[in-house]
Structure 1
């Protein structure tokens, strides 16, 4: 068992198959298959069930995933302790993020980090819910994660830092049902069609809470694709509740942004692994959350 075999194994897990993993690693598919076959021989058991073009982890493969991540993480820490990576002249950092905070505060964090450490490449991975972010960080898929939440985190297996908050606002067409410049009371949303995200997001929780209070809002579209909200609103499909970080983009696209009352706030939380971080992750955390303001939530 070696570093290359474990890297190939996790690439197949993360990318969902041999062909995609080979493309992501810039290796040939036969070379990838041979490495995995060698690893399976070393371990004395199969790691994947081959079902046509699909692969599914065996029980042994499932057991290997967290151990392989820990092993590669330890090797990365060892490498990061010397040379260019230690000095942040090179390296790579993976960050999981929900859709809402990718506009802000993540874009500002990334800009500041890349200005200071241009040699380090960043990989931003999509996470649909706060639980997805926590799981990707907890299991080592990403070192850092950014999420929004209106309630306490479901896991204590990560370190969490508050990095700001966003109010929820209402986005409507310019000729929508509410006049510009006047806040919209939540009761006024009764009878209107809304575009919402999937369950597990703070925005969806707000809409579900409206319904629980007896406010008759109608769900016109449920989508995992946050960038679809604006075209759908501008197309007259429905209204959307989004975080205030999307206000500027919405207005520039020609939509009307209105305050909601009573005010509802989403908290932006940056989470990291409890294990030792690589220098790149530690540097990003220092930029996003100065040491004097770091506190576990």
Structure 2
């Protein structure tokens, strides 16, 4: 078993097939397939169910994913550590972020980091919930995760750096029912159509709590595309409960933004694995 075989194995897992993995890695498909067969031979058992041209992870394959990520990530960290001896001029940090926090504070964090280290590359991976961010950091898919949660986050083996809190606000079309500066009580949402993210998101949990508190809402519009929420609001489909990281963008687009009472907040944190942090990721955290 070698690192190249593990890298090819993970590429097949992440890209959903041999041909897409080969294209992503810029290698010939027969070479990648041979590397997989050699890996399976070395391990003494297959890693995939082969269904026609499809490869589906079996139990052995699923057991290999996380250790393989740690090996590949560890080698990348070792390489970066050696390269950084001459000064942190180049490198790459990979970050998983939930959608609202990718608007802010991630944009500001990246600006600060790249200003201090202009030769650095930053790759942002999407995660829709805090638990997804934590899983991606724990499994080694990324080194750093930016997440928002209604409670202070905790997970074995991870370090959390608190960045502050974001308040939930109500975003309405410019011709909405509330005058500028009005503080909207939960009860005033009765009969209103709300646009929300998918189950598991902070905004959805707050809307569910408002409804469970006895406020009769109109049918809800649910979308997994967080970037679609503001256009839906501006088109008059409904209102949205969003983290206030969206407030500036919403107001510049012409929407109205209101405080909600009772107030509700999200805890914003960065997650990392203290035992497996490369120089670039360490510099990113230090830039805070």
The TM-score range, normalised by the shorter chain, is over 0.9
What is the TM-score with the length of structure 2 in the denominator? Answer: 0.95
CA gap 1:279/1:230 in 2 versus in 1, 3 angstroms: same
Deviations 1:132-187 (A, max 9, x none): 00111111111110111111325233111111211111111100111122111111
2:287 counterpart SS class = helix
- Counterpart mapping for 1:7-26 below 5 A: 7-26=7-26
Q: Is the 8 A contact 1:91 1:120 kept in 2?
A: yes
2:191 counterpart SS class = coil
Deviations 1:51-110 (A, max 9, x none): 234321122111211221222222223222212577322222211100010111100111
Partner residue, 1:224: 224
Partner residue, 1:58: 58
- Matches of 1:23 and 1:152, distance apart in 2: 41
Partner residue, 1:295: none
Q: Identify the range of structure 1 (251-260 vs 67-76) with the bigger mean alpha-carbon deviation.
A: 67-76
Q: Identify the range of structure 1 (50-59 vs 80-89) with the bigger mean alpha-carbon deviation.
A: 80-89
- Matches of 2:278 and 2:4, distance apart in 1: 20
Q: Identify the range of structure 1 (216-225 vs 91-100) with the bigger mean alpha-carbon deviation.
A: 216-225
Structure 1 segments of 4+ aligned residues over 6 angstroms from their partners: none
Q: Is the 8 A contact 2:193 2:219 kept in 1?
A: yes
1:203 counterpart SS class = helix
Q: Is 1:191 the equivalent of 2:202? A: no
CA gap 1:154/1:82 in 2 versus in 1, 3 angstroms: closer
Q: Is the 8 A contact 1:80 1:86 kept in 2?
A: no
- Superposition RMSD in Å: 1.6
- Matches of 1:271 and 1:133, distance apart in 2: 8
Partner residue, 2:206: 206
Q: Is the 8 A contact 1:103 1:246 kept in 2?
A: yes
- Counterpart mapping for 1:225-244 below 5 A: 225-244=225-244
CA gap 1:218/1:17 in 2 versus in 1, 3 angstroms: farther
- Matches of 2:37 and 2:89, distance apart in 1: 36
- Counterpart mapping for 1:1-297 below 5 A: 1-84=1-84, 87-153=87-153, 155-288=155-288
Q: What's the CA shift for 1:271?
A: 0.5
- Matches of 1:143 and 1:258, distance apart in 2: 36
Structure 2: runs of 5 or more not aligned? none
Q: What's the CA shift for 1:278?
A: 0.5
